[in-house]
Structure 1
Amino acid sequence: MSFFKKLKESISGKTEAVTTKFKEGLSKTRDMFVERVEDLMFRHKKIDEEFYEELEEILIGADVGVNTVMKLIDELRTEVKKRKIEDAAELKPVLSEKLVGLLKSDADNSLKMAEEGVTVILFVGVNGVGKTTSIGKLAHRYKQEGKKVMLAAGDTFRAGAIEQLEVWGQRVGVDVIRQQAGSDPAAVMFDAIQAAKTRGVDVLLCDTAGRLQNKVNLMEELNKIYRVIKREIPDAPHEVLLVLDATTGQNALSQAKLFGEKTGVTGLILTKLDGTAKGGIVIAIRQELDIPVKFVGLGEKMDDMQVFDSEQFVNALFSGMKVEEE
Protein backbone atom coordinates (compact mmCIF):
# COMPACT_ATOMS: atom_id res chain seq x y z
CA MET A 1 0.00 0.00 0.00
CA SER A 2 1.36 3.45 -0.91
CA PHE A 3 2.34 5.88 1.84
CA PHE A 4 -0.40 8.37 0.94
CA LYS A 5 -3.06 5.64 1.05
CA LYS A 6 -1.79 4.53 4.47
CA LEU A 7 -1.85 8.14 5.66
CA LYS A 8 -5.44 8.58 4.44
CA GLU A 9 -6.49 5.34 6.12
CA SER A 10 -4.82 6.37 9.34
CA ILE A 11 -6.75 9.65 9.53
CA SER A 12 -10.02 8.22 8.19
CA GLY A 13 -11.05 7.29 11.73
CA LYS A 14 -10.65 10.90 12.83
CA THR A 15 -13.46 13.38 12.39
CA GLU A 16 -13.86 15.00 9.00
CA ALA A 17 -14.28 18.39 10.70
CA VAL A 18 -10.77 18.16 12.21
CA THR A 19 -9.24 17.07 8.88
CA THR A 20 -10.95 20.03 7.19
CA LYS A 21 -9.66 22.45 9.85
CA PHE A 22 -6.08 21.28 9.30
CA LYS A 23 -6.44 21.58 5.52
CA GLU A 24 -7.97 25.05 5.70
CA GLY A 25 -5.61 26.26 8.42
CA LEU A 26 -2.50 25.18 6.53
CA SER A 27 -3.66 26.39 3.10
CA LYS A 28 -1.09 29.25 2.91
CA THR A 29 1.82 26.95 3.75
CA ARG A 30 0.49 24.27 1.39
CA ASP A 31 0.01 26.68 -1.51
CA MET A 32 3.57 27.96 -1.21
CA PHE A 33 5.22 24.64 -0.38
CA VAL A 34 3.34 22.28 -2.71
CA GLU A 35 3.42 24.68 -5.65
CA ARG A 36 7.19 25.02 -5.41
CA VAL A 37 7.81 21.29 -4.86
CA GLU A 38 5.53 20.37 -7.78
CA ASP A 39 7.29 22.90 -9.99
CA LEU A 40 10.69 21.55 -8.93
CA MET A 41 9.68 17.96 -9.72
CA PHE A 42 8.21 18.98 -13.06
CA ARG A 43 11.39 20.80 -14.11
CA HIS A 44 13.80 18.15 -12.78
CA LYS A 45 12.77 14.77 -14.04
CA LYS A 46 16.01 13.34 -12.67
CA ILE A 47 17.30 13.67 -9.10
CA ASP A 48 20.65 15.44 -9.25
CA GLU A 49 22.67 17.85 -7.10
CA GLU A 50 20.80 20.88 -8.41
CA PHE A 51 17.50 19.20 -7.46
CA TYR A 52 18.64 18.70 -3.85
CA GLU A 53 19.85 22.31 -3.60
CA GLU A 54 16.51 23.68 -4.80
CA LEU A 55 14.56 21.38 -2.48
CA GLU A 56 16.78 22.60 0.37
CA GLU A 57 15.85 26.21 -0.47
CA ILE A 58 12.12 25.42 -0.57
CA LEU A 59 12.22 23.70 2.84
CA ILE A 60 14.27 26.50 4.42
CA GLY A 61 11.81 29.00 2.86
CA ALA A 62 8.94 27.20 4.65
CA ASP A 63 10.87 27.71 7.93
CA VAL A 64 11.61 24.04 8.47
CA GLY A 65 14.98 25.16 9.92
CA VAL A 66 18.49 24.78 8.49
CA ASN A 67 19.61 21.96 10.82
CA THR A 68 16.45 19.96 10.19
CA VAL A 69 16.65 20.53 6.42
CA MET A 70 20.24 19.27 6.28
CA LYS A 71 19.23 16.14 8.20
CA LEU A 72 16.20 15.62 5.95
CA ILE A 73 18.17 16.03 2.70
CA ASP A 74 20.78 13.53 3.94
CA GLU A 75 18.01 11.02 4.70
CA LEU A 76 16.45 11.57 1.26
CA ARG A 77 19.81 10.96 -0.44
CA THR A 78 20.13 7.67 1.47
CA GLU A 79 16.59 6.58 0.52
CA VAL A 80 17.11 7.51 -3.15
CA LYS A 81 20.22 5.31 -3.31
CA LYS A 82 18.63 2.48 -1.32
CA ARG A 83 15.40 2.38 -3.35
CA LYS A 84 17.17 3.23 -6.62
CA ILE A 85 14.77 6.13 -7.25
CA GLU A 86 15.48 8.03 -10.45
CA ASP A 87 12.26 9.90 -11.21
CA ALA A 88 11.84 13.04 -9.04
CA ALA A 89 8.06 12.50 -8.79
CA GLU A 90 8.68 9.23 -6.93
CA LEU A 91 10.23 11.25 -4.13
CA LYS A 92 6.87 12.77 -3.02
CA PRO A 93 5.76 9.90 -0.75
CA VAL A 94 9.33 9.50 0.58
CA LEU A 95 9.48 13.20 1.48
CA SER A 96 6.07 13.13 3.19
CA GLU A 97 6.96 9.94 5.09
CA LYS A 98 10.16 11.59 6.36
CA LEU A 99 8.21 14.69 7.48
CA VAL A 100 5.77 12.53 9.48
CA GLY A 101 8.82 10.89 11.09
CA LEU A 102 10.30 14.28 12.01
CA LEU A 103 7.01 15.43 13.57
CA LYS A 104 6.15 12.29 15.49
CA SER A 105 7.03 12.18 19.14
CA ASP A 106 6.95 9.53 21.84
CA ALA A 107 5.79 12.22 24.23
CA ASP A 108 2.07 12.24 24.95
CA ASN A 109 0.60 15.46 23.57
CA SER A 110 -2.63 15.21 25.56
CA LEU A 111 -2.79 17.57 28.54
CA LYS A 112 -2.02 16.15 31.97
CA MET A 113 -5.04 16.47 34.26
CA ALA A 114 -5.24 16.24 38.07
CA GLU A 115 -6.53 12.88 39.30
CA GLU A 116 -8.82 14.78 41.65
CA GLY A 117 -9.50 18.41 42.48
CA VAL A 118 -8.38 21.38 40.40
CA THR A 119 -6.17 21.04 37.29
CA VAL A 120 -3.97 24.15 37.04
CA ILE A 121 -2.63 25.10 33.60
CA LEU A 122 -0.19 28.00 33.38
CA PHE A 123 0.27 29.95 30.13
CA VAL A 124 3.56 31.72 29.39
CA GLY A 125 4.92 33.60 26.38
CA VAL A 126 5.76 37.10 25.18
CA ASN A 127 3.07 39.70 24.50
CA GLY A 128 1.24 39.61 21.19
CA VAL A 129 1.52 35.87 20.47
CA GLY A 130 -2.18 35.12 21.13
CA LYS A 131 -1.85 33.93 24.73
CA THR A 132 -5.17 35.35 25.96
CA THR A 133 -7.02 34.11 22.87
CA SER A 134 -5.52 30.62 23.38
CA ILE A 135 -6.73 30.62 27.00
CA GLY A 136 -10.23 31.62 25.84
CA LYS A 137 -10.35 28.92 23.17
CA LEU A 138 -9.08 26.24 25.56
CA ALA A 139 -11.66 27.35 28.14
CA HIS A 140 -14.34 26.89 25.46
CA ARG A 141 -12.97 23.44 24.62
CA TYR A 142 -13.08 22.26 28.24
CA LYS A 143 -16.50 23.76 28.83
CA GLN A 144 -17.80 21.88 25.77
CA GLU A 145 -16.45 18.71 27.42
CA GLY A 146 -18.64 19.44 30.45
CA LYS A 147 -15.87 20.67 32.76
CA LYS A 148 -16.22 23.62 35.14
CA VAL A 149 -13.59 26.16 34.06
CA MET A 150 -12.18 29.31 35.66
CA LEU A 151 -9.66 31.89 34.40
CA ALA A 152 -7.00 33.74 36.43
CA ALA A 153 -5.95 37.19 35.14
CA GLY A 154 -2.28 36.96 36.15
CA ASP A 155 -1.03 39.40 33.50
CA THR A 156 -1.49 42.49 35.66
CA PHE A 157 1.18 44.54 33.89
CA ARG A 158 0.01 44.88 30.27
CA ALA A 159 -2.59 47.57 29.67
CA GLY A 160 -5.91 45.97 28.84
CA ALA A 161 -4.80 42.37 29.52
CA ILE A 162 -7.25 41.87 32.41
CA GLU A 163 -10.16 43.33 30.44
CA GLN A 164 -9.26 41.19 27.41
CA LEU A 165 -9.41 38.04 29.53
CA GLU A 166 -12.72 39.16 31.04
CA VAL A 167 -14.20 39.55 27.53
CA TRP A 168 -13.19 35.96 26.81
CA GLY A 169 -14.66 34.87 30.15
CA GLN A 170 -18.00 36.44 29.16
CA ARG A 171 -17.90 34.92 25.66
CA VAL A 172 -17.24 31.43 26.98
CA GLY A 173 -19.40 31.85 30.09
CA VAL A 174 -16.77 31.24 32.79
CA ASP A 175 -15.65 33.18 35.88
CA VAL A 176 -12.49 35.29 35.82
CA ILE A 177 -10.53 35.99 39.02
CA ARG A 178 -8.79 39.36 38.86
CA GLN A 179 -7.29 42.20 40.87
CA GLN A 180 -6.42 45.75 39.91
CA ALA A 181 -3.90 46.47 37.14
CA GLY A 182 -0.34 46.53 38.51
CA SER A 183 -1.14 44.24 41.46
CA ASP A 184 0.98 41.21 42.42
CA PRO A 185 0.35 38.34 39.94
CA ALA A 186 1.16 35.75 42.63
CA ALA A 187 -1.61 37.21 44.80
CA VAL A 188 -4.04 36.81 41.88
CA MET A 189 -3.02 33.14 41.58
CA PHE A 190 -3.56 32.61 45.32
CA ASP A 191 -7.07 34.14 45.10
CA ALA A 192 -7.86 32.11 41.97
CA ILE A 193 -6.82 28.79 43.56
CA GLN A 194 -8.89 29.47 46.69
CA ALA A 195 -11.91 30.41 44.54
CA ALA A 196 -11.42 27.33 42.30
CA LYS A 197 -11.35 25.03 45.34
CA THR A 198 -14.41 26.67 46.91
CA ARG A 199 -16.47 26.62 43.69
CA GLY A 200 -15.61 23.06 42.68
CA VAL A 201 -13.74 24.08 39.53
CA ASP A 202 -12.20 21.33 37.37
CA VAL A 203 -9.76 23.41 35.30
CA LEU A 204 -8.06 26.70 36.23
CA LEU A 205 -6.38 28.44 33.27
CA CYS A 206 -3.84 31.05 34.38
CA ASP A 207 -2.59 33.98 32.30
CA THR A 208 0.86 35.44 33.09
CA ALA A 209 2.78 38.57 32.10
CA GLY A 210 4.63 38.42 28.79
CA ARG A 211 7.02 41.24 29.46
CA LEU A 212 8.36 43.06 32.51
CA GLN A 213 11.31 45.46 32.64
CA ASN A 214 13.75 42.68 31.82
CA LYS A 215 13.89 38.91 31.42
CA VAL A 216 15.29 38.40 34.93
CA ASN A 217 12.24 40.15 36.43
CA LEU A 218 9.91 38.10 34.27
CA MET A 219 11.50 34.81 35.34
CA GLU A 220 11.51 35.88 39.02
CA GLU A 221 7.82 36.76 38.75
CA LEU A 222 7.04 33.37 37.18
CA ASN A 223 9.02 31.55 39.90
CA LYS A 224 7.02 33.40 42.56
CA ILE A 225 3.77 32.32 40.84
CA TYR A 226 5.06 28.71 40.78
CA ARG A 227 5.83 28.76 44.51
CA VAL A 228 2.36 30.08 45.40
CA ILE A 229 0.62 27.49 43.18
CA LYS A 230 2.75 24.59 44.54
CA ARG A 231 2.16 25.64 48.13
CA GLU A 232 -1.62 25.46 47.59
CA ILE A 233 -1.70 22.43 45.22
CA PRO A 234 1.58 20.43 45.47
CA ASP A 235 1.12 18.67 42.08
CA ALA A 236 0.39 21.93 40.25
CA PRO A 237 0.84 23.47 37.80
CA HIS A 238 -0.10 20.31 35.91
CA GLU A 239 0.93 21.90 32.60
CA VAL A 240 3.01 24.94 31.64
CA LEU A 241 2.08 25.85 28.07
CA LEU A 242 4.29 28.19 26.07
CA VAL A 243 2.31 30.09 23.44
CA LEU A 244 4.21 30.93 20.23
CA ASP A 245 3.15 32.90 17.15
CA ALA A 246 3.84 30.75 14.06
CA THR A 247 4.01 33.85 11.83
CA THR A 248 7.25 34.92 13.57
CA GLY A 249 9.07 31.80 12.29
CA GLN A 250 12.57 31.36 13.67
CA ASN A 251 11.90 34.05 16.29
CA ALA A 252 9.30 31.68 17.78
CA LEU A 253 12.01 29.02 18.02
CA SER A 254 14.29 31.45 19.90
CA GLN A 255 11.47 32.26 22.34
CA ALA A 256 10.82 28.56 22.88
CA LYS A 257 14.49 27.99 23.73
CA LEU A 258 14.52 30.91 26.21
CA PHE A 259 11.27 30.03 27.98
CA GLY A 260 11.85 26.27 27.79
CA GLU A 261 15.14 26.56 29.69
CA LYS A 262 13.81 28.88 32.37
CA THR A 263 10.19 28.01 33.07
CA GLY A 264 9.78 24.25 32.96
CA VAL A 265 7.56 24.35 29.87
CA THR A 266 5.70 21.05 29.35
CA GLY A 267 4.06 21.80 26.01
CA LEU A 268 3.67 24.31 23.19
CA ILE A 269 0.70 26.04 21.60
CA LEU A 270 1.46 27.34 18.11
CA THR A 271 -0.98 30.09 17.14
CA LYS A 272 -1.80 31.76 13.79
CA LEU A 273 -0.70 28.85 11.59
CA ASP A 274 -3.50 29.89 9.24
CA GLY A 275 -1.83 33.29 8.80
CA THR A 276 1.57 32.12 7.58
CA ALA A 277 3.09 30.37 4.56
CA LYS A 278 5.89 29.20 6.86
CA GLY A 279 4.11 26.42 8.74
CA GLY A 280 7.31 24.38 8.53
CA ILE A 281 8.28 26.07 11.81
CA VAL A 282 6.31 23.27 13.53
CA ILE A 283 8.89 20.79 12.18
CA ALA A 284 11.84 22.99 13.24
CA ILE A 285 10.47 23.38 16.77
CA ARG A 286 9.68 19.67 17.07
CA GLN A 287 13.23 18.77 16.00
CA GLU A 288 15.21 21.31 17.98
CA LEU A 289 13.31 21.17 21.25
CA ASP A 290 12.30 18.21 23.33
CA ILE A 291 8.91 19.79 24.04
CA PRO A 292 5.72 18.44 22.44
CA VAL A 293 3.46 20.71 20.38
CA LYS A 294 0.12 20.17 22.14
CA PHE A 295 -2.21 22.54 20.28
CA VAL A 296 -2.20 24.54 17.05
CA GLY A 297 -4.30 27.58 16.20
CA LEU A 298 -5.84 27.11 12.74
CA GLY A 299 -8.22 30.06 12.52
CA GLU A 300 -10.20 32.78 14.26
CA LYS A 301 -13.23 30.76 15.40
CA MET A 302 -13.74 29.57 18.97
CA ASP A 303 -13.19 25.92 18.00
CA ASP A 304 -10.19 26.51 15.74
CA MET A 305 -7.70 25.48 18.44
CA GLN A 306 -6.91 21.84 17.61
CA VAL A 307 -4.87 19.13 19.31
CA PHE A 308 -1.71 18.78 17.24
CA ASP A 309 -1.68 15.66 15.07
CA SER A 310 1.43 14.96 12.95
CA GLU A 311 -0.48 12.83 10.42
CA GLN A 312 -3.21 15.46 9.97
CA PHE A 313 -0.49 18.09 9.55
CA VAL A 314 1.38 16.23 6.79
CA ASN A 315 -1.86 15.13 5.08
CA ALA A 316 -3.00 18.77 5.00
CA LEU A 317 0.40 19.86 3.67
CA PHE A 318 0.39 17.38 0.79
CA SER A 319 -3.33 17.35 0.03
CA GLY A 320 -2.78 19.50 -3.07
CA MET A 321 -0.28 17.09 -4.63
CA LYS A 322 -1.38 15.15 -7.70
CA VAL A 323 0.11 11.97 -6.23
CA GLU A 324 -2.91 11.72 -3.95
CA GLU A 325 -5.09 10.61 -6.81
CA GLU A 326 -2.79 7.76 -7.79
Structure 2
Amino acid sequence: MTMNKANESSVSEFLLLGLSRQPQQQQFLFVLFLSMYLATVLGNLLIILAISTDSRLHTPMYFFLSNLSFVDICFSSTTIPKMLVNHILGSQSISFPGCLTQMYFLFMFVDMDNFLLAVMAYDRFVAVCHPLHYTTKMTPQLCALMVAGSWAVANLNVLLHTLLMARLSFCADNRIPHFFCDVTPLLKLSCSDTHINEMMILFEGGLIMITPFVCILVSYVCITSAVLRVPSTKGKWKAFSTCGSHLAVVSLFYGTIIAVYFNPSSTHSADKDTAATVLYTVVTPMLNPFIYSLRNKDLKGALRKVFHRQSFPFCV
Protein backbone atom coordinates (compact mmCIF):
# COMPACT_ATOMS: atom_id res chain seq x y z
CA MET A 1 0.00 0.00 0.00
CA THR A 2 2.82 2.41 0.87
CA MET A 3 4.63 1.61 -2.37
CA ASN A 4 1.49 2.33 -4.42
CA LYS A 5 0.93 5.66 -2.68
CA ALA A 6 4.53 6.64 -3.32
CA ASN A 7 4.19 5.78 -6.98
CA GLU A 8 0.94 7.71 -7.34
CA SER A 9 2.37 10.82 -5.69
CA SER A 10 5.59 10.74 -7.73
CA VAL A 11 3.89 12.47 -10.68
CA SER A 12 2.03 15.63 -9.69
CA GLU A 13 1.88 17.14 -13.18
CA PHE A 14 2.26 16.23 -16.84
CA LEU A 15 4.04 17.99 -19.68
CA LEU A 16 2.00 18.54 -22.85
CA LEU A 17 4.60 18.46 -25.61
CA GLY A 18 2.17 19.83 -28.21
CA LEU A 19 2.16 19.19 -31.94
CA SER A 20 5.66 20.40 -32.75
CA ARG A 21 8.94 21.27 -31.04
CA GLN A 22 10.14 23.60 -33.81
CA PRO A 23 9.69 27.30 -32.83
CA GLN A 24 8.59 28.38 -36.31
CA GLN A 25 6.06 25.55 -36.55
CA GLN A 26 4.81 26.38 -33.06
CA GLN A 27 4.13 29.97 -34.09
CA PHE A 28 2.28 28.82 -37.20
CA LEU A 29 0.24 26.26 -35.23
CA PHE A 30 -0.62 28.89 -32.61
CA VAL A 31 -2.05 31.24 -35.24
CA LEU A 32 -3.80 28.37 -37.04
CA PHE A 33 -5.44 26.93 -33.91
CA LEU A 34 -6.41 30.37 -32.63
CA SER A 35 -8.09 31.16 -35.96
CA MET A 36 -9.89 27.81 -36.04
CA TYR A 37 -11.03 28.19 -32.43
CA LEU A 38 -12.40 31.69 -33.04
CA ALA A 39 -14.16 30.44 -36.19
CA THR A 40 -15.66 27.54 -34.21
CA VAL A 41 -16.94 29.74 -31.38
CA LEU A 42 -18.23 32.49 -33.68
CA GLY A 43 -19.91 30.09 -36.12
CA ASN A 44 -21.65 28.06 -33.45
CA LEU A 45 -22.69 31.14 -31.45
CA LEU A 46 -24.28 32.61 -34.57
CA ILE A 47 -26.23 29.39 -35.08
CA ILE A 48 -27.50 29.45 -31.48
CA LEU A 49 -28.39 33.16 -31.74
CA ALA A 50 -30.20 32.74 -35.06
CA ILE A 51 -32.25 29.78 -33.79
CA SER A 52 -33.15 31.43 -30.48
CA THR A 53 -34.29 34.73 -32.06
CA ASP A 54 -36.35 33.32 -34.95
CA SER A 55 -39.61 31.73 -33.81
CA ARG A 56 -39.92 29.84 -37.12
CA LEU A 57 -36.86 27.82 -36.13
CA HIS A 58 -38.30 26.64 -32.83
CA THR A 59 -38.67 23.09 -34.12
CA PRO A 60 -37.10 19.79 -33.02
CA MET A 61 -34.47 19.80 -35.78
CA TYR A 62 -33.17 23.26 -34.84
CA PHE A 63 -33.48 22.50 -31.13
CA PHE A 64 -31.04 19.62 -31.59
CA LEU A 65 -28.86 21.74 -33.86
CA SER A 66 -28.56 24.48 -31.23
CA ASN A 67 -27.60 21.87 -28.65
CA LEU A 68 -24.98 20.48 -31.04
CA SER A 69 -23.55 23.98 -31.54
CA PHE A 70 -23.35 24.52 -27.78
CA VAL A 71 -21.59 21.18 -27.31
CA ASP A 72 -19.13 21.97 -30.12
CA ILE A 73 -18.19 25.26 -28.45
CA CYS A 74 -17.56 23.46 -25.16
CA PHE A 75 -15.79 20.64 -26.98
CA SER A 76 -13.21 22.96 -28.55
CA SER A 77 -12.91 25.05 -25.37
CA THR A 78 -11.79 22.00 -23.41
CA THR A 79 -8.46 21.64 -25.22
CA ILE A 80 -7.52 24.57 -27.46
CA PRO A 81 -7.44 27.44 -24.89
CA LYS A 82 -5.10 25.46 -22.62
CA MET A 83 -2.74 24.86 -25.55
CA LEU A 84 -2.82 28.55 -26.52
CA VAL A 85 -2.21 29.71 -22.93
CA ASN A 86 0.71 27.28 -22.55
CA HIS A 87 2.24 28.67 -25.75
CA ILE A 88 1.90 32.27 -24.57
CA LEU A 89 3.34 31.49 -21.12
CA GLY A 90 6.08 29.26 -22.52
CA SER A 91 4.85 26.42 -20.33
CA GLN A 92 3.93 22.82 -21.03
CA SER A 93 2.67 21.74 -17.62
CA ILE A 94 -0.77 20.62 -16.54
CA SER A 95 -1.51 19.29 -13.06
CA PHE A 96 -2.65 15.72 -12.51
CA PRO A 97 -6.16 16.80 -11.34
CA GLY A 98 -6.28 19.28 -14.23
CA CYS A 99 -5.37 16.52 -16.65
CA LEU A 100 -8.15 14.26 -15.37
CA THR A 101 -10.61 17.16 -15.46
CA GLN A 102 -9.70 17.97 -19.05
CA MET A 103 -10.07 14.33 -20.02
CA TYR A 104 -13.45 14.13 -18.26
CA PHE A 105 -14.99 17.11 -20.05
CA LEU A 106 -13.40 16.26 -23.38
CA PHE A 107 -14.94 12.82 -23.54
CA MET A 108 -18.23 13.99 -22.09
CA PHE A 109 -18.59 16.37 -25.04
CA VAL A 110 -17.41 13.63 -27.43
CA ASP A 111 -20.22 11.43 -26.13
CA MET A 112 -22.70 14.30 -26.45
CA ASP A 113 -21.67 14.90 -30.07
CA ASN A 114 -22.11 11.19 -30.61
CA PHE A 115 -25.62 11.10 -29.10
CA LEU A 116 -26.80 14.31 -30.75
CA LEU A 117 -25.75 13.09 -34.19
CA ALA A 118 -27.87 9.99 -33.60
CA VAL A 119 -30.82 12.01 -32.29
CA MET A 120 -30.65 14.33 -35.31
CA ALA A 121 -30.60 11.32 -37.63
CA TYR A 122 -33.71 9.94 -35.87
CA ASP A 123 -35.42 13.32 -36.23
CA ARG A 124 -34.76 13.30 -39.98
CA PHE A 125 -35.94 9.69 -40.19
CA VAL A 126 -39.31 10.60 -38.63
CA ALA A 127 -39.61 13.72 -40.81
CA VAL A 128 -38.92 11.87 -44.07
CA CYS A 129 -40.43 8.44 -43.42
CA HIS A 130 -43.39 9.44 -41.19
CA PRO A 131 -44.16 13.05 -42.10
CA LEU A 132 -47.84 12.87 -41.12
CA HIS A 133 -46.96 11.75 -37.59
CA TYR A 134 -43.96 14.05 -37.12
CA THR A 135 -45.61 16.57 -34.80
CA THR A 136 -47.18 13.87 -32.64
CA LYS A 137 -43.98 11.84 -32.36
CA MET A 138 -41.37 14.59 -32.00
CA THR A 139 -43.00 16.41 -29.09
CA PRO A 140 -41.11 19.03 -27.05
CA GLN A 141 -41.19 16.67 -24.07
CA LEU A 142 -39.58 13.86 -26.06
CA CYS A 143 -36.91 16.18 -27.48
CA ALA A 144 -36.03 17.50 -24.02
CA LEU A 145 -35.98 13.95 -22.63
CA MET A 146 -33.61 12.71 -25.35
CA VAL A 147 -31.17 15.59 -24.75
CA ALA A 148 -31.34 15.24 -20.95
CA GLY A 149 -30.89 11.47 -21.23
CA SER A 150 -27.86 12.01 -23.47
CA TRP A 151 -26.27 14.29 -20.86
CA ALA A 152 -26.92 11.76 -18.09
CA VAL A 153 -25.50 8.78 -19.99
CA ALA A 154 -22.48 10.79 -21.18
CA ASN A 155 -21.62 11.89 -17.63
CA LEU A 156 -21.98 8.39 -16.18
CA ASN A 157 -19.87 6.86 -18.96
CA VAL A 158 -17.05 9.40 -18.63
CA LEU A 159 -17.11 9.23 -14.82
CA LEU A 160 -16.41 5.50 -15.04
CA HIS A 161 -13.35 5.96 -17.28
CA THR A 162 -12.06 8.91 -15.25
CA LEU A 163 -12.25 6.92 -12.00
CA LEU A 164 -10.45 4.01 -13.65
CA MET A 165 -7.74 6.40 -14.83
CA ALA A 166 -7.43 8.01 -11.38
CA ARG A 167 -6.56 4.66 -9.78
CA LEU A 168 -3.49 4.17 -12.01
CA SER A 169 0.07 4.90 -10.91
CA PHE A 170 2.41 7.19 -12.85
CA CYS A 171 5.98 6.67 -11.72
CA ALA A 172 8.59 8.52 -13.76
CA ASP A 173 7.88 9.72 -17.31
CA ASN A 174 5.30 12.52 -17.36
CA ARG A 175 5.66 13.73 -20.97
CA ILE A 176 2.50 13.51 -23.08
CA PRO A 177 3.26 13.80 -26.83
CA HIS A 178 0.03 15.66 -27.44
CA PHE A 179 -1.63 19.06 -26.93
CA PHE A 180 -4.18 17.72 -24.41
CA CYS A 181 -4.59 14.90 -21.90
CA ASP A 182 -5.71 11.99 -24.04
CA VAL A 183 -6.49 8.49 -22.80
CA THR A 184 -4.05 6.58 -25.02
CA PRO A 185 -0.86 8.52 -24.07
CA LEU A 186 -1.83 8.41 -20.39
CA LEU A 187 -2.25 4.64 -20.50
CA LYS A 188 1.19 4.33 -22.10
CA LEU A 189 2.75 6.45 -19.32
CA SER A 190 1.20 4.44 -16.50
CA CYS A 191 3.45 2.01 -14.66
CA SER A 192 0.53 -0.04 -13.34
CA ASP A 193 -1.70 -2.62 -15.01
CA THR A 194 -3.96 -0.90 -17.56
CA HIS A 195 -5.73 -4.05 -18.73
CA ILE A 196 -9.05 -3.12 -17.10
CA ASN A 197 -8.93 0.38 -18.59
CA GLU A 198 -8.26 -0.94 -22.08
CA MET A 199 -10.99 -3.57 -21.80
CA MET A 200 -13.55 -1.00 -20.63
CA ILE A 201 -12.61 1.35 -23.48
CA LEU A 202 -13.04 -1.44 -26.03
CA PHE A 203 -16.28 -2.90 -24.69
CA GLU A 204 -18.23 -0.35 -22.64
CA GLY A 205 -16.82 2.69 -24.46
CA GLY A 206 -17.21 0.88 -27.76
CA LEU A 207 -20.86 0.12 -26.99
CA ILE A 208 -21.51 3.80 -26.19
CA MET A 209 -19.97 4.91 -29.49
CA ILE A 210 -21.07 2.13 -31.84
CA THR A 211 -24.75 1.98 -30.81
CA PRO A 212 -25.58 5.56 -31.92
CA PHE A 213 -23.50 5.00 -35.06
CA VAL A 214 -25.58 1.94 -35.96
CA CYS A 215 -28.76 3.92 -35.28
CA ILE A 216 -27.54 6.62 -37.66
CA LEU A 217 -26.84 4.06 -40.38
CA VAL A 218 -30.25 2.42 -39.95
CA SER A 219 -31.97 5.81 -40.05
CA TYR A 220 -30.23 6.77 -43.26
CA VAL A 221 -30.93 3.44 -44.89
CA CYS A 222 -34.63 4.06 -44.24
CA ILE A 223 -34.32 7.68 -45.42
CA THR A 224 -32.58 6.58 -48.62
CA SER A 225 -35.28 4.01 -49.29
CA ALA A 226 -37.97 6.67 -48.84
CA VAL A 227 -36.16 9.24 -51.00
CA LEU A 228 -35.74 6.74 -53.86
CA ARG A 229 -39.52 6.55 -54.05
CA VAL A 230 -39.78 10.31 -54.64
CA PRO A 231 -40.73 10.89 -58.31
CA SER A 232 -38.94 14.24 -58.64
CA THR A 233 -35.28 13.99 -59.66
CA LYS A 234 -34.58 17.43 -58.18
CA GLY A 235 -36.11 16.36 -54.86
CA LYS A 236 -34.00 13.21 -54.80
CA TRP A 237 -30.78 15.12 -55.50
CA LYS A 238 -31.51 17.70 -52.82
CA ALA A 239 -32.19 15.01 -50.21
CA PHE A 240 -29.13 12.96 -51.14
CA SER A 241 -26.95 16.08 -51.09
CA THR A 242 -28.05 16.88 -47.54
CA CYS A 243 -27.57 13.28 -46.44
CA GLY A 244 -24.14 13.18 -48.06
CA SER A 245 -22.94 16.18 -46.06
CA HIS A 246 -24.25 14.72 -42.82
CA LEU A 247 -22.74 11.32 -43.50
CA ALA A 248 -19.40 12.90 -44.42
CA VAL A 249 -19.09 14.50 -40.99
CA VAL A 250 -20.41 11.37 -39.29
CA SER A 251 -17.77 9.29 -41.10
CA LEU A 252 -15.02 11.74 -40.17
CA PHE A 253 -16.12 11.88 -36.53
CA TYR A 254 -16.56 8.15 -35.99
CA GLY A 255 -13.73 7.05 -38.24
CA THR A 256 -11.09 9.05 -36.36
CA ILE A 257 -12.40 8.02 -32.93
CA ILE A 258 -12.47 4.34 -33.84
CA ALA A 259 -8.99 4.58 -35.34
CA VAL A 260 -7.56 6.14 -32.18
CA TYR A 261 -9.43 4.51 -29.30
CA PHE A 262 -10.68 1.12 -30.46
CA ASN A 263 -7.48 -0.43 -31.81
CA PRO A 264 -5.02 -2.50 -29.79
CA SER A 265 -2.37 -0.31 -28.14
CA SER A 266 0.40 -2.05 -30.08
CA THR A 267 -0.96 -0.67 -33.38
CA HIS A 268 -0.97 2.97 -32.25
CA SER A 269 1.33 5.50 -33.90
CA ALA A 270 1.82 8.86 -32.15
CA ASP A 271 1.75 10.87 -35.39
CA LYS A 272 -1.36 9.12 -36.75
CA ASP A 273 -3.17 9.42 -33.42
CA THR A 274 -2.36 13.12 -33.19
CA ALA A 275 -3.58 13.82 -36.72
CA ALA A 276 -6.80 11.90 -36.07
CA THR A 277 -7.51 13.65 -32.77
CA VAL A 278 -6.92 17.08 -34.35
CA LEU A 279 -9.58 16.20 -36.92
CA TYR A 280 -12.31 15.37 -34.42
CA THR A 281 -11.40 17.87 -31.68
CA VAL A 282 -10.67 20.92 -33.85
CA VAL A 283 -11.76 20.51 -37.47
CA THR A 284 -15.14 18.80 -37.03
CA PRO A 285 -16.60 21.32 -34.50
CA MET A 286 -15.52 24.14 -36.82
CA LEU A 287 -17.14 22.56 -39.89
CA ASN A 288 -20.43 21.56 -38.24
CA PRO A 289 -22.07 25.03 -38.50
CA PHE A 290 -21.28 25.19 -42.21
CA ILE A 291 -22.26 21.64 -43.11
CA TYR A 292 -25.40 21.32 -41.01
CA SER A 293 -26.63 24.90 -41.09
CA LEU A 294 -25.36 27.33 -43.67
CA ARG A 295 -26.76 25.26 -46.53
CA ASN A 296 -30.22 25.60 -44.98
CA LYS A 297 -32.35 28.39 -46.47
CA ASP A 298 -34.39 29.00 -43.30
CA LEU A 299 -31.27 29.33 -41.19
CA LYS A 300 -29.62 31.57 -43.75
CA GLY A 301 -32.62 33.87 -43.53
CA ALA A 302 -32.43 33.90 -39.73
CA LEU A 303 -28.70 34.73 -39.88
CA ARG A 304 -29.40 37.61 -42.27
CA LYS A 305 -31.90 38.98 -39.77
CA VAL A 306 -29.33 38.73 -36.99
CA PHE A 307 -26.77 40.68 -39.04
CA HIS A 308 -29.42 43.18 -40.11
CA ARG A 309 -30.33 43.90 -36.49
CA GLN A 310 -26.68 44.44 -35.64
CA SER A 311 -26.05 46.66 -38.68
CA PHE A 312 -29.23 48.74 -38.52
CA PRO A 313 -30.44 48.71 -34.88
CA PHE A 314 -32.32 52.02 -35.21
CA CYS A 315 -34.33 50.75 -38.14
CA VAL A 316 -35.31 47.66 -36.17
TM-score normalised according to structure 2 size: 0.25
TM-score normalised according to structure 1 size: 0.24
Larger relative helix fraction: 2
Larger relative strand fraction: 1
